[in-house]
């Protein structure tokens, strides 16, 4: 009888239906999102839209009535929500850790160079860029104990676009976990966080890394196997602007230390860490740092892995992969 019960229990356990993959896709933060998850519970698109609406109302510089837009316009009466608080505090931490190479206050210059909500003004000069640079510095912006933003300078502007996608990925991931999902992939505009595995093929989630091609074409060069990790990639190979009069090329990564739209030798920086918020911010910082400074920084920290596609002085394109990541990367 005991043997029969054990066999019956084994049959029930082994014959239990595995949750099938569920997929959600849509628009978010000026790009698209894709969510793949295995769970007995269904996540409704309206729930995702609700999360996006709250985050946009808090931190979207493209939404005129958002909290961040009101603050940037000089409204000191805005008490920021928990999303804004988390992103601001994380930005401060990474700003300090990277010696200022990650700095959301550089939004003043992002706008002036033509990569912000209002587009490029042909009348902007290098002298005006230099005059705006004196107001850049996250150390001049503060979050009070009662959650108001204050500025030390008369002109200031916050722009969380270099961290907001990663943060939203994390919010989506935590929402899935609250629904009981232990195996998922969340992606927004190329920023990714995964947990568990792809149950369909019983393997880790594989994320593609693209070649930095300026002609707009897409070609995968590496596949990275992730488990319980996040990956974010930053690059200047697509998002740039050419001045129609001078022919000068401006990249969207602004160096917060110089105030200039400067193309460094890193063409693409892919960062892997435990959460996508940090990965997104560090990817931006490494683009501004350049290859040698980024390598030196990585020697001083733990729990950050990278794939850098960079250019040597003679134009030769090379790849740097963290030692601890070598076994998880495949070439296509």
User: Is 11 a member of any domain?
Assistant: no
**DSSP state string for 224-272:** EEESS-EEEEEESSSSEEE-TTT--EEES-B-TTT--B---SEEEEEEE
Q: What is the pTM of this model?
A: 0.88
Mean of the per-residue pLDDT values for the chain?
87
Q: What is the domain-level CATH number for residue 172?
A: 3.10.520.10
How many structural domains compose the chain?
1
DSSP code of residue 327? G
User: Is 164 a member of any domain?
Assistant: yes
User: Is 13 a member of any domain?
Assistant: no
DSSP code of residue 104? G
- Digit-coded pLDDT (tens) for 244-264: 555 444 445 788 888 887 778
Which domain, by its residues, includes 123?
Answer: 21-64+77-331
CB-based burial label for 58 (10 Å; 0-12, 13-18, 19+): buried
What is the rounded distance in angstroms from the CA atom of residue 117 to the CA atom of residue 119? 6
- pLDDT score at 240: 46
User: Is 59 a member of any domain?
Assistant: yes
What is the rounded distance in angstroms from the CA atom of residue 176 to the CA atom of residue 101? 32
- pLDDT score at 237: 55
Residue 93: how many CB atoms within 10 A of its CB?
Answer: 13
Share of the chain above pLDDT 90, in %: 68
pLDDT tens track, the chain, 332 positions: 444 333 333 333 444 455 689 999 999 998 999 999 999 889 999 999 999 999 999 999 999 999 999 999 999 999 999 999 999 999 999 999 999 999 999 988 888 777 766 554 555 677 877 888 888 999 999 999 999 999 999 888 999 999 999 999 999 999 999 999 999 999 999 999 999 999 998 999 999 999 887 666 778 999 999 999 999 999 865 554 445 555 444 445 788 888 887 778 999 999 999 999 999 999 999 999 999 999 999 999 999 999 999 989 888 999 999 999 999 999 98
Residue 196: how many CB atoms within 10 A of its CB?
Answer: 16
- pLDDT score at 254: 82
- pLDDT score at 77: 97
User: Is 45 a member of any domain?
Assistant: yes
User: Is 69 a member of any domain?
Assistant: no
- pLDDT score at 158: 95
- pLDDT score at 18: 56
Vertex 227: Cα angle to 35 and 39 (nearest 5): 45
User: Is 14 a member of any domain?
Assistant: no
User: Is 293 a member of any domain?
Assistant: yes
DSSP code of residue 200? T
């Amino acid at each position: 009888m005991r043997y029969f019960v054990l066999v019956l229990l084994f049959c029930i356990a082994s014959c239990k239906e595995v949750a099938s993959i569920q997929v959600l896709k849509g628009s978010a933060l000026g790009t698209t999102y894709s969510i793949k998850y295995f769970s007995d519970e269904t996540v409704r698109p309206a729930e995702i839209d609700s999360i996006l609406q709250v985050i946009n109302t808090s931190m979207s510089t493209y939404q005129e009535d958002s909290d961040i837009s009101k603050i940037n316009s000089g409204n000191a009466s805005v008490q920021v929500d928990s999303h804004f608080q988390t992103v601001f505090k994380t930005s401060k931490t990474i700003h300090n850790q990277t010696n200022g190479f990650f700095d959301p206050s550089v939004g003043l210059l992002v706008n002036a160079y033509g990569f912000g909500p209002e587009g490029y003004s042909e009348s902007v000069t290098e002298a005006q860029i230099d005059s705006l640079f004196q107001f850049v510095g996250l150390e001049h912006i503060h979050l009070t104990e009662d959650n108001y933003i204050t500025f030390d300078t008369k002109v200031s502007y916050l722009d969380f676009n270099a961290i907001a996608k990663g943060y939203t990925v994390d919010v989506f991931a935590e929402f899935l976990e609250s629904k009981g999902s232990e195996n998922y992939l969340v992606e927004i505009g190329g920023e990714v966080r995964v947990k568990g595995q792809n149950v369909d093929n019983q393997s880790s989630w594989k994320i593609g890394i693209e070649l930095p091609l300026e002609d707009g074409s897409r070609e995968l060069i590496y596949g990275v196997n992730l488990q319980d990790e996040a990956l974010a990639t930053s690059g200047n190979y697509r998002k740039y602007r050419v001045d129609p009069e001078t022919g000068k090329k401006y990249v969207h990564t602004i160096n917060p230390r110089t105030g200039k739209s400067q193309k460094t030798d890193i063409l693409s920086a892919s960062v892997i860490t435990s959460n996508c918020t940090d990965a997104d911010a560090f990817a931006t910082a490494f683009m501004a740092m350049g290859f040698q400074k980024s390598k030196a920084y990585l020697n001083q920290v733990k729990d950050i892995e990278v794939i850098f596609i960079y250019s040597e002085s003679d134009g030769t394109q090379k790849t740097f992969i963290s030692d601890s990541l070598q076994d998880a990367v495949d070439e296509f």
